[in-house]
Amino acid sequence: MMLPCPHCGDRDVSEFRYGGDASKQRPQHGTGDLQTWHDYFFLFENPKGPHTEYWQHVLGCRRWFKLARNTATNEIGEVVS
C-alpha cells in the first residue's frame, strides 16, 4: 500500500506510523468528567469503510497528516490536511 505523504509524495506504507482515528474530538482541557476522558482515551470505534486517520511519515520527513482511507478496501482518498 502506498500512502501520499504531502511532502515526499507516494511512499510505501512501511515508512509510516499510524496515528489513530482523526475524527475523535479531544475534550476541552479541564472540562468533562472522568467518564468523558476515559471514553476519549480508551474507547475506539472499529469502522468498516470510510475512515479519517492520522499518519506520520516517521522514516521520511517526519510529517504528520490526516488521510482518508477505506478500511474495508484500503482505497486511499485525499490527504485531508
Partner 1 sequence: MLERRSALASAKPYVSAALKIAERPGFTLTQFAGLDGDFENKLSAVIGTLPDKVARAQVNGERTIFRIGPAQFWIVGPETDDAASRLAGLCAVTPLSSSRVRIALEGAPARAVLARLMPVDFDAAVFTLGNAALTGLHHTPVTVHCTGADAFDIYAMRTFALDVWDAVTDAAREFAASR
Stretch that binds partner 1, among 12-20, 23-31, 35-43, 73-81 (CB under 8 A): 12-20
Stretch that binds partner 1, among 23-31, 38-46, 47-55, 60-68 (CB under 8 A): 60-68
CA proximity to 19, closest of 60, 50, 63, 76: 63
Q: Is position 9 an interface residue for partner 1 (rule: CB under 8 A)?
A: yes
Distance CA 42, CA 34 (A): 12
In 1-81, which residue ranges form alpha helices assigned H by DSSP? 34-42
Q: Quick one: 38 or 63, whose CB is closer to partner 1?
A: 63
Single-letter amino acid code for the residue at 6? P
Which residue in 11, 18, 50, 66 binds partner 1 (CB under 8 A)? 11
Q: Quick one: 58 or 79, whose CB is closer to partner 1?
A: 58
Q: Is position 38 an interface residue for partner 1 (rule: CB under 8 A)?
A: no
Distance CA 23, CA 2 (A): 22
